[in-house]
Amino acid sequence: MPHLIGPRIHLREYREDDFSAIRSWINDPEVASHLSPIFDRVQTEAMTRTYVDDVLHNRIPGHRFIVADRDSDRYIGQVDLRTTDDPSHQASLAIVIPRREDRGQGYGREALTLLLDFAFDRLNLHKVWLEVFAANAPAIALYESLGFSRDGVLREDVYRDGRYLDMYLMAVLAREWRGRRRDT
């Protein structure tokens, strides 16, 4: 499992003791409101246990990292790069920084910079894409500032709280990421 080290955080493998940090937010409705509809359902301890065990035993494809403070190793969040075997060299990503006081501190930008360097320089991927709620302005601002483009709108894609919500499909290509890294 790769270990990606940045100035303030590192992306490391899951450990058994991350279970309680994950449980602390997994049924928080504010956090869930930004994430996939899977989180609209109550997540039991057994469900979280199965997920963590699957990650620990490499039973889920792709790369799943804990975002942690580089010095103290404090859990800050999670980021996934979901690769497949298909020949188009793509992966999707997902990120969560669950605690409100950790947001807006630059952790998300640093985590995604490490992840995109890994995706394009080490895995040699061609494209990284994601889906985001059209109303999630902070996340969209972050993705655009990292070079993601809005490739499409999934209109009225998720039914939540009595309304159908639009999702944006966003993506960044390897050459776009490398060009941006050269310019900064």
Ligand X SMILES: CC(C)(COP(=O)(O)OP(=O)(O)OC[C@H]1O[C@@H](n2cnc3c(N)ncnc32)[C@H](O)[C@@H]1OP(=O)(O)O)[C@@H](O)C(=O)NCCC(=O)NCCS
Where on the chain is the footprint of ligand X (CB under 6 A)?
34, 95-97, 103-109, 132, 136-139, 141-142, 145
User: How many whole angstroms separate alpha carbon 120 and alpha carbon 125?
Assistant: 5
Nearer to ligand X, 2 or 138 (CB): 138
Residue 29: CB minimum distance to ligand X, A: 12
Q: At what angle do helices 19-26 and 45-56 cross, to 10 degrees?
A: 140
Residue 1: CB minimum distance to ligand X, A: 22
Nearer to ligand X, 10 or 59 (CB): 10
User: How many whole angstroms separate alpha carbon 134 and alpha carbon 132?
Assistant: 6
Ranked by CB distance to ligand X, the top (closest) residue is 108
User: How many whole angstroms separate alpha carbon 61 and alpha carbon 83?
Assistant: 7
Beta-carbon contacts of 52 under 8 Å, excluding residues fewer than 6 positions away, are 14, 16, 18, 19, 22
Nearer to ligand X, 108 or 172 (CB): 108
Nearer to ligand X, 58 or 145 (CB): 145
